[in-house]
Chains A and B, each alone.
Chain A
Amino acid sequence: MSMWEYAPAPESREIARLKESYRPFIGGEFVDGGGEPLKSINPATEEVLTEVGTASSSDVDVAVKAARKAYDKTWRKMPGAERAKYLFRIARLIQERSRELAVLETLDNGKPIKESRDSDVPTAAAHFFYHAGWADKLDYAGYGPDPQPLGVAGQIIPWNFPLLMLAWKIAPALATGNTVVLKPAETTPLTALVFAEICQQADLPPGVVNILPGAGDIGSELVEHAGVDKIAFTGSTEVGKLIQRSVAGTSKRLTLELGGKAANIVFDDAPLDQAVEGIVNGIFYNQGHVCCAGSRLLAQESVVDELLEKLRYRVSTLRLGDPLDKNTDIGAVNSAEQLAKIRELAESGDAEGAQRWTSPCPVPERGFFFAPTVFSDVEQSMRIAREEIFGPVLSVLTFRTPDEAIAKANNTPYGLSAGIWTEKGSRILWAANQLRAGVVWANTFNRFDPTAPFGGYQESGFGREGGRTGLEAYLDV
């Protein structure tokens, strides 16, 4: 029997139409930013992709003023049905340029093309379609008569889903009549700047959307700017706390979507093969760079051996490598810094006595790669059970009774998501009520939909994105 190797099936990087340089987008124009240009690199090869101009603090001021002007002169006064047309137009343009966006996202972020192509970009378009539909129905959305926009929204997004997080932020803000100044992550600014082109193509009035590439200092300038009425942040809990401190005592509204350490609970009556799929999807999707990743597997002791045997076999079939290859399941970690953090936490797992198992898959020599890893014999007290790793590392804990499962699942300062695997409907409902997490998936994991509100408990943040509930974060009701 000969082995069947899949021939390389790479998507062409030409599709990304990568430019030599990119610039900030302010007041409807691409402008030279006053900040030091940054080099965006391809995490799969460590090659420089392009140079990106960044904003300075005076650019932040100009952008906020441009957003204010657009808010006062056009956007807030525009009937919802008219705003909706722009959103529909943007949604369709995202679809039209979907291949370009997908390849560019993969080059800049390192995620596999099958995910950017089948998940990130289509879901981003779906968010604009969904919110376009709300723009003219806000009076009937249950907030009482005549809910009002807040004004200028400052939005700061992370590097794990660059375009999708942009869509989560911008679509509801525009639908409700706000204007935005958005700062993409330092390592992944490119699709946001192509989105700026799409705003131009859609004839969006100048200043309604402004995009400011830059590092954390530009983010804090934006947060502290007096002309901003609302801050929406997705990122680490550490930075979230700083932002909350900074806006305390001001009239700025704030929503935070922060870290997580989600429990994926597998009861002994679970559909085991699909639970294995859900565990894999929960922690290895997007290299585990998912705030709601199912990073803690809580398995009932009576099935843990069988489950782990199946899980290890399944994980060993995951294909790690060139993110542009259509058959790649696990791409590159986004940055050297993140890779170092993952390694450090994994080493703490070894040091604290957990059993490390690593997929035997080949790992490319260049680029930031980390092979899928499963730690068993993990105890609640270990760092890998408590801290967010944000990488392809699963910590396996066990439980004996349903109450113990819930107690362990809730034993975290986070509370973003959780998963329940059981064939018993009553147990799903019971467990969902006990779990302190913003999203509870039952017999599935990491499913996203613009109609479903997403957000956290406790140190995973507050406020919701998506659904009717998500609109409220951008409305004065």
Chain B
Amino acid sequence: MATPTLPAELSDATRDETSLRRFLHGLPGVDQVGVEQRAAGLGTRSIKKGSKLWAIDTAISMVDLTTLEGADTHGKVRALAAKARRPDPDRPDTPRVAAVCVYPDLVSTAVGALTGTGIGVASVATAFPSGRSSREVKLTDVALAVNSGASEVDMVIDRGAFLEGRYGQVFDEIQAVKEACAAAGNTAHLKVILETGELATYDNVRRASWLALLAGGDFIKTSTGKVSPAATLPVTHVMLQAVRDWYVSTGELRGVKPAGGIRNTKDAIRYLVAVHEVAGPEWLTPSLFRFGASSLLNDLLLQRRTQLDGHYSGPKYVTVD
């Protein structure tokens, strides 16, 4: 059940339900006032000139360009894929985004539009966004995504089970999804959405983060974007601290993805500063940090032009997809 490389205290934690519960409840608490003060303090970093341009390019390369609407169509997904390939048509040197994120039934369209580009196709799955269905339905959802060629699966945890304290159930489900991510010829990366807005406390965010890491999630992700509050800086701090602590005890690097509510460059840079100073500079790469966003990309493109041209160009100069 547990990964063999884990140190004893971590592999013991997943031995059974009781051990798991004891481990998660034994994690140090998170002081709300302290973590919010730290997040606000780091939020005052002033990023200028070359370091700003670097941050903008890095942020663009970390975007999971997302559309998760009931009204999504093949055309909409193709438009988004085109945007992902060439975010700023006037400036071909603009980095590509990391991935496009869609519902499972639209994965094949996205894959068709992005094959050979190196841009990932992420699919939400497991009865996204609520996660309220049977294990069977959730795994079928994952299979649809993976069999259609998704390179990344963004699953949601069962918040009901988590809040009831049935951690083993949440753990098993993440593991089952992780297994389902490995289909013939395609092993998708697993991002585990904690939906921190429903977990409500930072202590819960820390426990859910460790639970997802123990179960094998490659990324821990804040939110579905369908619940308010979505990503916040202090929540992301707690999760960045978790992946750092995980690295210190296991030597493994796992990723973090804040999603929802990050709309402008200023916010994105605050997140990158947190990545840089809380987790560490190693995490400043799309393989370990992503932004789940849709409107953020255009603001990054506008600010990129402002940096390069020396003046603001206006929203008419970026494409609306």
Contacts and interface: CB of A to CB of B under 8 A. Distances in A.
Interface of A: 1-9, 114, 118, 269-274, 277-278, 309, 317, 326-327, 423, 443-444
Interface in B42-90: 44-52, 54-55, 58
B248 A9 contact: no
Contacts of B50: 7
Contacts of B35: 273-274
Main secondary structure of the interface of A (DSSP, over half): loop
Main secondary structure of the interface of B (DSSP, over half): helix
Contacts of A7: 47-52
Contact of A274 (B34, B282, B284): B34
A317 B30 contact: no
B49 A423 contact: no
A102 to B, nearest CB: 13
A317 B45 CA distance: 13
Given A270-B28, A274-B35, A274-B38, 20 more contacts: A1-B281, A1-B284, A4-B58, A4-B272, A7-B49, A7-B50, A7-B52, A8-B48, A114-B44, A118-B44, A271-B28, A271-B29, A271-B31, A274-B31, A274-B33, A277-B34, A326-B46, A423-B29, A423-B31, A443-B33
A274 B35 CA distance: 6
19 contacts: A2-B54, A4-B55, A4-B276, A5-B51, A6-B46, A6-B47, A7-B47, A7-B50, A9-B48, A114-B44, A118-B44, A270-B29, A271-B30, A273-B241, A274-B33, A277-B38, A317-B277, A444-B33, A444-B34
B290 to A, nearest CB: 15
Contacts of A423: 29, 31
Given A6-B45, A9-B48, A277-B34, A272 B284 contact: no
A6 B38 contact: no
Given A277-B37, A317-B277, A4 B54 contact: yes
Contacts of B51: 4-7
Contacts of B281: 1, 3-4
Contacts of A443: 31, 33-34
A6 B281 CA distance: 12
Interface string B237-276: 0000100000010000000000000000000000010001
A270 to B, nearest CB: 7
A8 B48 CA distance: 8
Contact of A272 (B28, B49, B58): B28
Contact of B30 (A1, A2, A274, A444): A274
B285 interface: yes
B18 to A, nearest CB: 21
A278 B50 CA distance: 32
Contact of B248 (A4, A271, A309, A327): A309
B136 to A, nearest CB: 39
A83 to B, nearest CB: 35
Contact of B285 (A1, A9, A309): A1
A2 B37 CA distance: 29
A1 B281 CA distance: 9
**Pairs of residues from A and B, 9 with the lowest C-beta to C-beta distance, nearest first:** A274-B34, A9-B46, A274-B31, A326-B46, A271-B31, A272-B28, A7-B49, A7-B51, A271-B29
B285 A278 contact: no
Nearest to A318: B277
A314 to B, nearest CB: 9
A203 to B, nearest CB: 35
Contacts of B48: 6-9
A317 B280 CA distance: 9
Contacts of A317: 277
